[in-house]
Chain A
Amino acid sequence: MTYFDISRRHLLSMGLGGIGTVAFGARGLQAQPTQVALQLSWLHSVQFAGSYIADERGFWAERGLEVRLDAGGPNAPVEPPVVTGTALVGISAADYTAAAVQQGAPFRIIGVAMQNNPFAIASLPANPVNEPKDMEGKRIGMPLANMPVLRTLCTLNDVDIDKIEVIPTQYDPAPLVAGEVDCLLCWSTDLPVAMYVRGIESVTMLMADFGYTLHSQTYIATDDSLANRRAELVALMAGEVQGWEAYRADLDAATDLTLARFPDVGLDRPTQIEQARRQVPLMFSDLTDANGFGWWTDETVAQNIETLGLLEMPVEASLWDRSILEEVHG
Chain B
Amino acid sequence: MTALAREQWPAAMGRVLASVAFVLVLWHLAALSVAGSYMLAGPVAVAQYLLENSSLIWRALVVTAQNAAWGFMAGNLAAIGLALIVVMIPQSRMLVASVALVVFCLPLVATGPVLRVLYGPGPGPQITLAALSVYYTTFIPLLVGLRAAPGNWFDMIRLYGRGAWSTFVHVRVMAAMPYLMAGLQVAAPAAFLGAMVGEFTGAERGLGVLTLRALRALDVEATWSIALVAASVSMLAYWAIGWLADRITPSRPEILLATTPAPVRGPMALRALRALALGLATTVIVVALWWLVMEAFALNRFFAKRPDDLWHYLVTAPNAAAHRAALWTASTATLVQVVPGYLAGLFLGAGLALLLALVPMLAGGVLPVAIALRSVPIVTTAPLIVLALGRGAVGTITIVAVMTFFPALVACIQGLRQAPGQVLDLMRLYATNPLARLWHAQIPAMLPAFFAAARLSVPAAILAVTVAEWLATGRGLGALMAMTASTSDYNLLWSAIVVVAVGAALGYGLVGLIERVVLARVAPEQLRR
Is there an interface contact between A99 and B487, defined as CB atoms closer than 8 Å? yes
B307 within 8 A of A: no
* Cross-interface CB contact of B56 among A71, A77, A264, cutoff 8 Å: A264
**Pair B490/A103 contact, Cβ less than 8 Å:** yes
Across the interface, which residues of B come within 8 angstroms of A18, CB to CB?
none
- State whether the Cβ of A170 lies closer than 8 Å to any Cβ in chain B: yes
> For the complex, is B527 an interface residue (Cβ under 8 Å from A)?
no
CA distance A100 to B210 in the complex (A): 29
Q: B215 near A172 (CB under 8 angstroms)?
A: yes
Nearest opposing residue in chain A for B197, CB measure:
A75
> Shortest CB–CB separation between residue B369 and chain A, in angstroms?
27
A4 at the interface (CB under 8 A from B): yes
What's the nearest-Cβ distance from chain A to residue B113, in Å?
5
The one of B60, B212, B303, B483 in contact with A83, judged by C-beta atoms closer than 8 angstroms, is: B303
B434 at the interface (CB under 8 A from A): no
Q: Do residues A76 and B60 form an inter-chain contact, with CB atoms below 8 A?
A: no
Binding stretch for chain A, among B116-124, B162-170, B238-246, B437-445: B116-124
Contact B213 A266 (CB under 8 A): yes
Closest to B390 in A: A180
CB contact under 8 A between A144 and B303, given known A3-B127, A70-B121, A194-B216: no
Residues of A with C-beta under 8 A to B214: 266
- Is A105 an interface residue, CB under 8 A from the partner? yes
Q: Does A303 contact B (CB under 8 A)?
A: no
Q: Is the CB of B112 within 8 A of A145?
A: no
Task: Say yes or no: A174 contacts B113, CB within 8 Å.
Answer: no
| Cβ-based interface call for B54 (8 A) | no
In the complex, A191 has a CB within 8 A of chain B: yes
Q: List chain A residues, Cβ under 8 A from B206.
A: 264
Contact among B38, B200, B204, B474 with A44 in the assembled complex (CB-CB below 8 Å): B204
Which chain B residues border A76 with CB–CB below 8 Å? Answer: 112-113, 116, 200-202
Contact B113 A77 (CB under 8 A): yes
Interface string of A148-179 (1 = CB under 8 A from B): 00000000000000000001111111110111
Given the known interface contacts A80-B113, A172-B215, A266-B213, the answer about A144 and B479 at a Cβ–Cβ threshold of 8 Å is: yes
Q: Which residues of A contact B219 (CB under 8 A)?
A: 194
A73 interfacial by beta-carbon distance below 8 Å: yes
| Contact between chains at B37 and A75 (CB < 8 Å) | no
Q: Is the CB of A71 within 8 A of B203?
A: yes
Q: What are the residues of chain B within 8 A of A271 when measuring CB–CB?
A: 217
Residue ID in chain B nearest A96 by CB atoms? B486
Taking CB atoms, residues of chain A closer than 8 Å to B210 are 265-266
A110 to chain B minimum Cβ distance, whole angstroms, is 18
With a cutoff of 8 Å between Cβ atoms, the chain A residues found around residue B484 in the complex are 77
For residue B55, which residue of chain A has the nearest CB? A263
In Å, the complex CA distance between A172 and B211 comes to: 12
Contact of B38 (CB < 8 Å), options: A79, A177, A265: A177
Distance A44 CA – B60 CA, assembled complex (angstroms): 15
Cβ–Cβ contact A73 & B302, under 8 A: no
CB of A246 within 8 Å of the partner chain: no
Query: Which size class do A's interface residues fall under?
Result: 35 or more
Instruction: Please provide the chain B residues from 361 to 387 with a CB less than 8 Å away from any CB of chain A in the complex.
Output: 383, 387
Q: How far is the CA of A3 from the CA of B204 in the complex (A)?
A: 18
* Cβ of A17 under 8 Å from chain B: no
- A93-145 residues with Cβ-Cβ distance < 8 A to B are 95-96, 99-100, 102-105, 143-145
Tell me the nearest residue of chain B to A181, going by C-beta.
Answer: B391
**Chain B residues whose C-beta falls within 8 Å of the C-beta of A75 in the assembled complex:** 108-109, 112-113, 116, 197, 200-202, 482, 485
Q: Is B473's CB within 8 Å of the partner chain A?
A: yes
Bound state CA distance, A267 and B37, in angstroms?
23
> Interface readout for A1-45 with B: 1 if CB under 8 Å, 0 if not?
001101100110000000000000000000000000100000110
The reply to whether B486 and A99 contact each other, CB–CB distance below 8 Å, is yes
**CB-nearest residue of chain A to B60:** A264
On chain A, the residues within 8 Å of B299 by CB distance are 84
Q: How far is the CA of A39 from the CA of B449 in the complex (A)?
A: 48
Q: Within 8 Å of chain A (Cβ to Cβ): is B516?
A: no
Which of A3, A37, A195, A271 has the most CB atoms of chain B within a 10 A radius of its CB? A3
A58 at the interface (CB under 8 A from B): no
> Are A168 and B473 closer than 8 Å at their CB atoms?
yes
Q: Which of B84-141 contact A (CB under 8 A)?
A: 108-109, 112-113, 116-122, 124, 127-128
In the complex, the answer to whether A81 meets B117 with C-beta atoms within 8 Å is yes
CB-contact partner of A174 in B121, B218, B474, under 8 A: B218
With known contacts A4-B118, A80-B303, A266-B222, A103–B200 Cβ distance under 8 A: no
Residues of A within 8 A of B483 (CB): 144-145
Q: Give the chain A neighbours of B471 by CB distance below 8 A.
A: 74, 170
B472 located at the interface, meaning its Cβ lies under 8 Å from any Cβ of chain A in the complex: yes
Bound together, the chains give a CA A315 to CA B214 distance in angstroms of: 37
**Would you call B300 and A83 a contact (CB within 8 A)?**
yes
User: Which residue in chain A gives the minimum CB-CB distance to B117?
Assistant: A80
B474 touches A144 (CB 8 A): yes
List residues of chain B with CB within 8 A of the CB of A143.
474, 479
Given contacts A79-B488, A96-B488, A169-B474, A74 and B60 within 8 Å (CB-CB): no
Contact partner, A191, options B200, B204, B216, B487, Cβ 8 Å: B216
Contact of A74 among B63, B200, B205, B303 (CB under 8 A): B200
Select from chain B the residue with minimum beta-carbon distance to A144. Answer: B474
Within 8 A of A (CB), among B31-48: 37-39
CB-based nearest A residue for B37: A178
- Residue A182 at the B interface, CB < 8 A? no
B37 pairs with A73, CB closer than 8 A = no
- Please state if A145 and B486 are interface contacts (CB–CB under 8 Å): yes
Does B295 sit within 8 A of A, measured CB to CB?
Answer: no
Minimum Cβ distance to chain B for residue A38 (Å): 11
Interface string of B207-234 (1 = CB under 8 A from A): 0011011111111101000000000000
Quick one: given A79-B302, A168-B474, are A99 and B391 in contact (CB under 8 Å)? no
Q: Which residue of B lies closest to A186 (CB)?
A: B216
B51 to chain A, nearest CB (A): 16
- Residue contact A80 to B302, C-beta cutoff 8 Å: yes
- The answer to whether A86 has its CB under 8 Å from any CB of chain B is yes
Chain A residues positioned under 8 Å from B488 (CB to CB)? 77, 79, 96, 99-100, 102-103, 105
Cross-interface CB contact of A168 among B108, B119, B391, cutoff 8 Å: B391
Q: Is A210 an interface residue (CB 8 A)?
A: no
- A44 (CB) vs chain B CBs: closest residue: B204
Q: Kindly list 16 other residue pairs between chains A and B, CB separation below 8 angstroms, not including A4-B118, A44-B204.
A: A3-B122, A6-B122, A43-B209, A75-B201, A76-B113, A79-B303, A79-B488, A105-B302, A143-B474, A145-B486, A168-B474, A170-B474, A173-B216, A178-B39, A198-B38, A264-B56
Binding site for B on A (CB under 8 A): 3-4, 6-7, 10-11, 37, 43-44, 68, 70-77, 79-81, 83-84, 86, 95-96, 99-100, 102-105, 143-145, 167-175, 177-180, 190-191, 194-195, 197-198, 262-268, 271
What are 5 A-to-B residue pairs whose CB atoms are below 8 Å? A74-B482, A80-B113, A86-B120, A264-B56, A265-B210
A-B complex: 7 closest residue pairs judged by Cβ atoms:
A76-B202, A168-B474, A264-B205, A75-B200, A100-B488, A75-B112, A80-B303
